[in-house]
């Protein structure tokens, strides 16, 4: 299970946002939403607030970002906010200075915010195109998107190891080629989302006969596949608990899923300096998808603290001193 949000920190940010709304300000960086242009030079504040979205992986990334920034000479604190509708405006205002995001998801979220919920999506399996779209949307809002790292947390599909062995499955294309009827355990939105049931049918030719609405990567969803009620489950590439349920991922060999690479996003007026960029970029070149899954496992299954897991990883990789 993911670590729950810290209510006191969430409440504190909510009060801060409310106060700013009443007072009409509180911004430490430029408010660029209306102007659509960047006017301030890149900032280099001595104390930086690192945002977390309150789930295990986000907590881990926030801890690693904070440790890297401390090693570069910054004072840091971590603020956990579970709602992107809250933390993204706080990032624009400079109440949060740094946050780990996911390239395609954040691009589509900003696109919907700017152009409306019905706007065509801009995230895609093409990382370069996704990053270009994301930066075009983020820059006018006073945000700088740093280079995407190696780690990717995107939607993925799993079957039991026994089912994979019986049908010689390694990829989603292999599953489509079997012609087997497949019940899919996923969120109820999977029925209409192009990356989910419609994409599995159209891209891979998988005969999805039904979507069992048990959520994305939840324990009930995995149990439904484990006990044979369903044959396929929607989860993520950094799911740390697949082994516990005897599940294995099938490769997305035709690239149905979007490029959700981990990417640092910073408030340009407070944390847009080259020094911040260098500090955070050190992690992106080292951290892999497999690493991130193992770190999640240490927190979710081994019940270790995110800060301890994060520090140990950075020390092991030589990114911070012991």
Which tokens belong to 86? Answer: 């809250």
CA angle 277, 5, 287 (to 5 degrees): 35
Please tell me the number of Cα atoms within 13 Å of 175 on its side-chain side: 30
Does residue 17 or residue 304 have the better pLDDT? 304
The residues of the chain that CATH labels 3.40.190.120 are 155-250
How does pLDDT run across 34-56, given as a tens digit for each residue?
344 555 678 999 999 999 998 89
pLDDT at 83: 79
Q: Would you say 44 and 271 are in contact if contact means Cβ atoms under 8 Å apart?
A: yes
Q: Which residues contact 225 (CB under 8 A, 6 or more apart)?
A: 158, 159, 160, 185, 231, 232, 233, 245, 247
pLDDT at 31: 44
Does residue 36 or residue 138 have the better pLDDT? 138
Q: Which residues of 271-284 are buried (b: 16+ CB within 10 A; e: fewer)?
A: bbbeebbebbebbb
Q: Would you say 30 and 38 are in contact if contact means Cβ atoms under 8 Å apart?
A: yes
Q: Which residues contact 128 (CB under 8 A, 6 or more apart)?
A: none
Which tokens belong to 94? Answer: 């400079």
Average model confidence (pLDDT) across the chain = 89
Does residue 27 register a pLDDT over 60?
no
Does residue 29 register a pLDDT over 50?
no
CA distance 51 to 97: 7
Which tokens belong to 206? Answer: 């998988």
Architecture of domain 7-18+45-152+260-316: 3-Layer(aba) Sandwich (3.40)
The residues of the chain that CATH labels 3.40.190.10 are 7-18+45-152+260-316
pLDDT at 70: 98
Structure pTM? 0.82
How does pLDDT run across 164-209, given as a tens digit for each residue?
999 999 999 999 999 999 999 999 989 988 899 999 999 999 999 9
Does residue 286 register a pLDDT over 90?
yes
How does pLDDT run across 54-88, given as a tens digit for each residue?
889 999 999 999 999 999 999 999 999 977 888 99
> How sure is the predictor about 160, in pLDDT bands with cuts at 50, 70 and 90?
very high
Q: How many percent of the chain have pLDDT more than 70?
A: 88
Q: Would you say 283 and 64 are in contact if contact means Cβ atoms under 8 Å apart?
A: yes
Going by the DSSP 8-state scheme, the letter that residue 196 receives in this structure is: S
Going by the DSSP 8-state scheme, the letter that residue 149 receives in this structure is: -
* Homologous superfamily (CATH) for 155-250: Osmoprotection protein (prox); domain 2 (3.40.190.120)
Lowest-confidence region among 11-20, 105-114, 237-246, 302-311: 11-20
């Amino acid at each position: 299970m993911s670590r729950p949000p810290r209510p006191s920190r969430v409440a504190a940010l909510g009060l801060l946002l409310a106060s700013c709304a009443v007072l009409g300000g509180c911004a430490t960086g430029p408010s660029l939403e209306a102007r659509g242009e960047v006017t301030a030079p890149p900032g280099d504040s001595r104390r930086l607030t690192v945002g977390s979205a309150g789930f295990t992986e986000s907590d881990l990334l926030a801890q690693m970002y904070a440790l890297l920034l401390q090693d570069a000479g910054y004072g840091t604190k971590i603020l956990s906010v579970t709602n992107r509708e809250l933390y993204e405006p706080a990032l624009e205002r400079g109440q949060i200075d740094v946050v780990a995001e996911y390239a395609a998801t954040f691009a589509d979220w900003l696109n919907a915010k700017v152009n409306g919920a019905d706007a065509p999506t801009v995230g895609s399996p093409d990382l370069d195109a996704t990053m270009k779209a994301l930066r075009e949307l983020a820059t006018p809002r006073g945000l700088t998107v740093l280079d995407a790292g190696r780690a990717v947390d995107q939607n993925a599909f799993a079957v039991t190891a026994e089912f994979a062995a019986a049908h010689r499955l390694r990829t989603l294309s292999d599953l489509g080629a079997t012609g087997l009827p497949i019940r899919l355990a996923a969120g109820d939105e999977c029925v209409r989302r192009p990356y989910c049931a419609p994409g599995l049918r159209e891209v891979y030719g998988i005969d999805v006969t039904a979507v069992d609405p048990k959520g994305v990567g939840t324990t009930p969803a995995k149990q439904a596949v484990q006990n044979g009620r369903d044959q396929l489950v929607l989860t993520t590439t950094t799911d740390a608990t697949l082994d516990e349920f005897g599940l294995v991922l099938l490769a997305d060999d035709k690239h149905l899923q979007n490029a959700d690479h981990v990417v640092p996003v910073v408030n340009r007026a407070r944390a847009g300096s080259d020094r911040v960029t260098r500090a955070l970029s050190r992690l992106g070149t080292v951290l892999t998808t497999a690493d991130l899954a193992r770190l999640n496992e240490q927190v979710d299954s081994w019940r270790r603290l995110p800060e301890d897991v994060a520090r140990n990883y950075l020390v092991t990789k030589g990114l911070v001193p012991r």
